[in-house]
Structure 1
Amino acid sequence: MFAQPEADALGPGISITPIRQEQLKRKLGDRFRELDVPLEVTWPNGKKEAILFVLEEETDPRRFSTHRLAHYCLDLSELRNTKRVVPVVIFLRGQTLDLSLCLGGERHTYLQFNYLSCSLSKLPWQKYQHSSNIVARLNLPNMHYEQKDKIHVYAQAFRGLKELESDPVLQDKYIDFIDIYAQLSNNELKQYQHHYPNEARQMETFTQRNQNIGLKQGMEQGMQQGM
């Protein structure tokens, strides 16, 4: 979804593994820059050299730095001893015009850095409303939609979470993500409950489960402090 030109060439049977931030911080030291977790893609039997995808999520395009991303990719390339690095930037709101970095003089360009970019707010939500990609479904509220479709966008995001993620812990985590970016008003929430009563009841179950977990954790902490 975010790196389609590269993803289409990967083929079947690949393995995707996040590179732990703790490992990067330990090895890079002061040069460590905390972006979203890099992903390492490997092929069965090592038939191709592994490739690294560096994904950075940016809420405010004004805060994005091509220099910072280039530094991070170069550090990661040196650390992992590979030149197969694909930088990808996901803009939640808008997009920067700073799409590349060129260093050079009068006659030559000596460093050329480009990255793939995805502006979620420009993607039509209808295209992804039935997607089997959970990342796409969770990000429906960040995509382009008309105000009249807002509760339907929210419903499809929630349905995607329910259908594509079975882990209760992750369900609780991702429902918060949907809520934060959908930002339904009280009136919109009432409309949602009216048009999608089944989903609304299931969401109440999620909320109650979160409250029960929080209450249990609070009681356990209180008991430990009192001992």
Structure 2
Amino acid sequence: MPIDHDAIFKELITNFFKEFMELFFPEAHALIDYSELTFLAQEIITDITAGEKHYVDILASVKIKREEGYVLIHVEPQAYKEADFARRMFIYFSRLYEKHKKKVLPIAVFSYDSKVEKLDRHEVTFPFLKVLEFNFYKVQLKKLPWRKYIRSNNPVAAALLSKMDYSPKERLKLKLEFLRMITRMQLDPAKLGLITAIFDTYLGLSPEEEKEVEEMLHRELSAEEVKKVMELRTSWHTKGWQEGWQKGLEAGLEEGRKEILLKQLKKRLGFLPPEVEERIKSLSLKELDELAEKIFEVTSESDLRKFLGMEH
């Protein structure tokens, strides 16, 4: 089964948005007020000239300290090379700015395996006039040296360690340092399972390599660190690492989407009764996606109850 890069990055960033900004964009992070952070429903942008529809999955609404009103932060994960990507980022920016009439901070996350420097701007110029210079933040993961991040306590750094720059012979050491990192993090099992699942999905060790890591674990980690790793395994209630990672990813996907949907519905309707919240928390991933697609049709508690099958 092919990796759904967009879904992985969406779940990681929506679950750890503050940590994502702190890790990669500390200057912006210092001025963001996260107290009223919300994620907007998926945006569809139609390119009439190309006859295509594009989806903007990650669109956050936040406040900037000492500024009035809200601003939007658009994060675009890019898992493949695209010659005209900067132009597409500008089109997304333009449509979002036009629709919401708010400042938009655009961010691109390049996750494919290339160290070729990617542009972070789109220009429209003439020999006699520069009409436009559009700039955006970027993260090019393959240009980041993994060893620079192993002392970090940031869960986003841990999850993306296996997408950074390392040599094939460093794969086992990379896994070992990842395990050391997660022993320092105070995260609930679902979120810890999510970052572990993402790390493992991209590293892709074989069962034989996992056994080698197991031997290294007892040789190179302290007794306290080994004990903590064992406790974390138990907390995920798994029979083995591979099963645990998959369950962790699935749990993270579900929990992340439930949290976002609940925030959106509370903002839209003002209040949700406890029994409605519990019903939403019981939805499957497929049902959560269906509700997300219909969220703009939900204008009252009655509409929501009808969708959830709670009306008699």
Q: Report TM bin, short chain.
A: 0.7 to 0.9
Aligned residue among 75, 85, 110 for 2:104:
85
Structure 1's 168 and 39: CA in aligned 2 closer, same or farther, altered over 3 A? same
- TM-score, normalisation: structure 1: 0.73
Q: CA 1:162–1:139 in 2, change beyond 3 Å: closer, same or farther?
A: same
1:129 Cα deviation after fit: 0.7
Match of 1:52 in 2: 72
1:130 is aligned to 2:151 = yes
Query: Partners in 2 of 1:168 and 1:108 — Cα distance?
Result: 56
How far does the alpha carbon of each residue in 1:172-216 deviate from its partner, in whole angstroms, 9 at most, with x for none? 3332211111111333211111111533784476343857x79xx
Output the TM-score relative to the length of structure 2: 0.55
Q: What does 1:51-200 align with in structure 2 at a 5 Å threshold? A: 51-62=71-82, 65-82=85-102, 84-92=103-111, 93-94=113-114, 95=116, 97-161=118-182, 163-164=184-185, 166-197=187-218, 198=226, 199=229
- Partner of residue 37, structure 2: 17
Q: Secondary structure at the match of 2:74?
A: strand
* Residue of structure 1 equivalent to 2:61: 40
Q: 1:6 aligns with which of 28, 36, 40?
A: 28
**C-alpha distance in 1 between matches for 2:134 and 2:179:** 38
For residues 63 and 172 of structure 1, the distance between their equivalents in structure 2, rounded to whole angstroms, comes to 35
Answer 1 or 2: higher relative contact order, Cα 8 Å, separation at least 6.
2
Question: Does the 8 Å CA contact 1:40/1:50 hold for their aligned counterparts?
Answer: yes
How many Å separate the matches in 1 of 2:161 and 2:145? 9
Per-residue deviation, 1:69: 1.4
Deviates more, 1:33-42 or 1:123-132: 33-42
CA gap 1:146/1:96 in 2 versus in 1, 3 angstroms: closer
Counterpart of 1:208 in structure 2 is: 239
What residue identity is the alignment partner of 1:134? P
Q: Secondary structure at the match of 1:21?
A: coil
Write the distance in 2 (CA, Å) between the matches of 1:163 and 1:64: 41
Q: Identify unmatched segments of 5+ residues in structure 1.
A: 215-220, 222-227
- Structure 1 residue 41: deviation in Å? 2.7
Aligned residues: 208
Over the matched positions of the two proteins, sequence identity in percent amounts to 21
**SS state at 2:134 partner:** strand
Q: Which residue pairs with 1:225 in the alignment?
A: none
| 1:119-160 CA distance string (max 9 Å, x none) | 111212122112122111111111122334322322333444
- State the SS of the aligned residue for 2:165: coil
C-alpha change, 1:161 and 1:59, in structure 2 (3 Å) is farther
Contact 1:21 1:34 in 2 (8 A): no
Unaligned runs of 5+ in 2: 1-22, 219-225, 249-283, 285-312
